[in-house]
Amino acid sequence: MIKVKIDGKIVEIERGKRIFELVSDRKFFAARVNGDLSDLSTEITEDCEVDLLDFSSDAGREVYWHSASHIMAMAVKQLFPGAKLAIGPAIDQGFYYDFDLNRPFSPEDLSRIEQRMQQIIGQDIPFERLPTKKTDAIDMFEKNGESYKVQLLNEIEDDEITLYRNGEFVDLCRGPHVGCTGNIGAFKLLSLAGAYWRGDVKQPMLQRIYGIAYPTPDELNDYLKKIEEAKQRDHRKLGADLELFSIFEEAGAGLVYWHPKGATLRRLIEEYWTQEHIAAGYQINMTPHIARGHLWQQSGHYDFYRDNMYLLPVENEEYVLKPMNCPGHILIYKSKVRSYRELPLKYAELGTVYRKELSGTLHGLLRVRGLTIDDAHIFCQPEQIVEELAKVLILAKKFLNRFGFHDFRIELSVRDPMEKTKYLGTDEEWERAETGLIAALENVGTEYTRMEGEAVFYGPKIDIKLIDALGRPWQATTIQFDFNLPRRFDIEYMDRDGKHKQVVVIHRAIYGSLERFIGCLIEHYAGSFPVWLAPVQVVVMPITDKETRYAEQVLQRCRKQGLRAEINNKSEKINYRIREVESSKVPYMLILGQREVVDKAISLRKHKEGNLGQMKLKDFFDLVASEQGGEN
């Protein structure tokens, strides 16, 4: 007999029992055994702790969606036997599978695939885990013409791998999976896209089918409604409709051109950033857009990121269009000997950088080639780490709250303890850095998820993903330690004892990139920005030409109050002009007729709320001031 802790209780069972024999509720479809993900068919052979997984957990959703991707691949192979299988992972929202087929899938094909998937789910076919010798798996996939699976197998070092079988369908996979196809409740295939094998433009173009699945039809329908709403909030569509930005193909993909309204929005975001950083003790600096190639060789970026960098020949020497701002800040720090009395020294910059992203990965403002990062580097002593990290977390929360984000997902990315050779820095440095990040998170009372193996090679980090109005996560704040640059650039300070000691460098960005942050803001607010952020806050609208003179006076008074105001005295009828301004999502309209001229007043309309009645202009200014003050 062995002891198993499950569902908060310790039970004694016979060795060799399978997990599903201990589970009475069908909602559970996978488990963690001593922390390792496992199928419910796994035999229990020793004392252990079993955590059952359902759809409510991140790990459970990943297993669920990955299983749905296998069911989709099984359906495709039944309907299109000539299709070659590539990969089919779970993603943040749902799953996809890549196929190589000699003709494009059509919308009608997706409908047929959905119908076949429903049949497979109805048959409740078990997912069987098959430990297999790699050589035998290669022989099988070669015989079946599955060249992509053979390529993946040849890259695996282990002699034994795992396959999963559903009836006659067999796929290469580590698992785990749900117990049977019938565990999948409601699903929908969402879209088709092209995708290069391994993301390499030199490789074959595959066809990718995206899908989503939920335990119940109601949950699926709620998600599909959010998808439809997301389409209406798409920042690319709203960016054009509201005249915020353009990306001109003739000028180059991934390069953003800000229209006056978009530039105003961006300026407001930058001004708030500058004001708050100066108040928090940061010093603002500026660095050039290009630098000599050897600087990037010294920093290590040349070796690790060369394929994503723009290289420029200048007078028989290679320059680089900067992909990040770190080396420039370090050069400024090293421009003189620094004392411990100066630390922490905080440099911040809204620095535009350039990265050679593949054209297929570009997506409006969310993935661009020219981006502005709100970079800052904190140069400090080891004993200052926790306090400075806590200050960054507090500042980040203040920023995100100001822009209407109050729900966050915080991740602590640390190195894989089994793969230490993949990371720079000593055990002592990693321990100090990870301990500092954890202490800072706990000091500010912040919950977080520990992400093993997700650290960058030069240090651990904290990522803050903000949750928008549709519940979607967006990468925003990043706080990183760096063991690489202090050594490569020999960054030091003179301590109390007169000795030079290596400084600690903390990288951090709160917005992340301005482009991505603004894209997120547009979708979060669906283009209806709060008054303090609206590019145009007020439109003054005379009903006829008779009120034009008074309208000009009202316009000037609005501008003297610091409001971003425009006049709309077009020749169209007033109702048409009201609809036009309403569609442009301006917060306020001041309608002026003869009655308003006589009463020296305005008739106020508010976006989404309609007519608020007549009031004095001063009362309107008080209303706007109170609204802007309350937007925190």
**359-418 per-position pLDDT tens digit:** 777 889 999 999 999 999 999 999 999 999 999 999 999 999 999 998 888 999 998 887
Cα separation, 117 vs 109, whole angstroms:
12
Q: Does 21 map to a domain?
A: yes
Cα separation, 390 vs 523, whole angstroms:
29
Domain co-membership, 359 together with 488: yes
Q: Which of 106, 125, 118, 104 is nearest to 75 (CA)?
A: 118
Domain co-membership, 462 together with 576: no
Contacts of 171 (CB under 8 A, 6+ apart): 70, 73, 85, 88, 149, 163, 164
* CB-CB neighbours of 9 under 10 Å: 7
Cα separation, 314 vs 243, whole angstroms:
37
Domain co-membership, 296 together with 279: no
582 SS3 class:
helix
pLDDT of residue 407: 87
Q: Which of 269, 270, 256 is nearest to 357 (CA)?
A: 256
Q: Calculate the alpha carbon distances from 95 to 59, 61, 79 in Å.
A: 14, 10, 20
Rg (CA), the chain: 29
Residues 526-576: tens digit of each pLDDT:
999 999 999 999 999 999 999 999 999 999 999 999 999 999 999 999 999
pLDDT of residue 397: 93
Write down the mean pLDDT value for the chain: 92
With 80 as the cut, is the pLDDT of residue 471 above it?
Answer: no
Cα separation, 508 vs 377, whole angstroms:
6
pLDDT of residue 302: 85
Report the run of H or E that residue 284 belongs to, with start and end: strand 283-284
Q: Residue 39's domain spans which residues? A: 2-53
Q: Taking a C-beta distance cutoff of 8 angstroms, is the pair 191, 210 a contact? A: yes
Identify the DSSP state of 579: H
- The distance from CA 380 to its chain's CA centroid, rounded to whole angstroms, is 29
Of 226, 255, 278, the domain-final residue: 226
412 SS3 class:
strand
Cα separation, 249 vs 255, whole angstroms:
9
Q: Does 261 map to a domain?
A: no
Helices and strands per DSSP (H, E), number in the chain = 18, 33
107 SS3 class:
helix
pLDDT band, residue 163 (cuts 50/70/90): very high
Q: For position 136, which CATH number holds?
A: 3.30.980.10
Of 305, 322, 339, the domain-final residue: 322
Q: Does 530 map to a domain?
A: no
Please state, for a pLDDT cut of 70, what percent of the chain lies above it. Answer: 99
Cα separation, 509 vs 517, whole angstroms:
11
Of 322, 342, 367, the domain-final residue: 322
Task: At 467, give phi and psi (nearest 5°).
Answer: -105, 125
Domain co-membership, 305 together with 336: no
Cα separation, 365 vs 622, whole angstroms:
35
pLDDT of residue 630: 63
With 60 as the cut, is the pLDDT of residue 234 above it?
Answer: yes
Residues 409-442: tens digit of each pLDDT:
899 999 888 788 778 778 888 888 888 899 999 9
Q: Calculate the alpha carbon distances from 327 to 69, 280, 586 in Å.
A: 43, 23, 42
With 90 as the cut, is the pLDDT of residue 517 above it?
Answer: yes
pLDDT of residue 217: 96
Domain co-membership, 160 together with 299: no
Q: Does 430 map to a domain?
A: yes
With 70 as the cut, is the pLDDT of residue 631 above it?
Answer: no
pLDDT of residue 358: 76
Residues 236-253: tens digit of each pLDDT:
999 999 999 999 989 999
Q: For position 555, which CATH number holds?
A: 3.40.50.800
Q: Does 559 map to a domain?
A: yes
First vs last C-alpha separation in the chain = 59
Cα separation, 291 vs 299, whole angstroms:
12
Q: Does 125 map to a domain?
A: yes
Q: Quickly tell me which residue has 């479809």 as its tokens.
A: 29
Q: Out of 27-41, 159-173, 578-592, 612-626, which region has the weakest mean confidence (pLDDT)?
A: 27-41
Domain co-membership, 213 together with 98: yes
pLDDT of residue 455: 85
pLDDT of residue 154: 94
pLDDT of residue 169: 96
For the record, the structure tokens of 158 come out as 């282990």
Domain co-membership, 116 together with 204: yes
Average pLDDT over residues 120-148: 96
pLDDT of residue 230: 85
Q: For position 427, which CATH number holds?
A: 3.30.930.10
Q: Calculate the alpha carbon distances from 569 to 183, 539, 626 in Å.
A: 62, 10, 28
With 90 as the cut, is the pLDDT of residue 489 above it?
Answer: yes
Residues 283-325: tens digit of each pLDDT:
999 999 999 999 999 988 888 788 889 999 998 899 999 999 9
* CB-CB neighbours of 517 under 10 Å: 26
Domain co-membership, 73 together with 129: yes
What is the per-residue DSSP string for 118-182?
HHHHHTTPBPEEEEEEHHHHHHHHHHTT-HHHHHHHHT---SEEEEEEETTEEEE------SBGG
Domain total of the chain: 5
Q: Taking a C-beta distance cutoff of 8 angstroms, is the pair 99, 85 a contact? A: yes
Domain co-membership, 215 together with 81: yes
User: What are the start-end ranges of the E strands in 368-430?
Assistant: 370-380, 408-414
Domain co-membership, 396 together with 338: yes
Report the run of H or E that residue 291 belongs to, with start and end: strand 290-292
Q: Does 280 map to a domain?
A: yes
Q: Which of 147, 143, 140 is nearest to 163 (CA)?
A: 140
With 70 as the cut, is the pLDDT of residue 632 above it?
Answer: no
Strands 94-100 and 84-85, by their bridges, are antiparallel
pLDDT of residue 310: 93
Report the run of H or E that residue 219 belongs to, with start and end: helix 217-233
pLDDT of residue 420: 81
Domain co-membership, 167 together with 152: yes
Domain co-membership, 161 together with 21: no
Please state, for a pLDDT cut of 90, what percent of the chain lies above it. Answer: 77
Q: For position 43, which CATH number holds?
A: 3.10.20.30
* Residues forming a β-bridge with 257: 246
Residues 322-343: tens digit of each pLDDT:
999 999 999 999 999 999 999 9
Cα separation, 58 vs 90, whole angstroms:
11
pLDDT band, residue 521 (cuts 50/70/90): very high
Q: Does 111 map to a domain?
A: yes
Q: Taking a C-beta distance cutoff of 8 angstroms, is the pair 204, 219 a contact? A: no
pLDDT of residue 472: 78
Where is pLDDT greater, at 575 or 632?
575
pLDDT band, residue 458 (cuts 50/70/90): confident
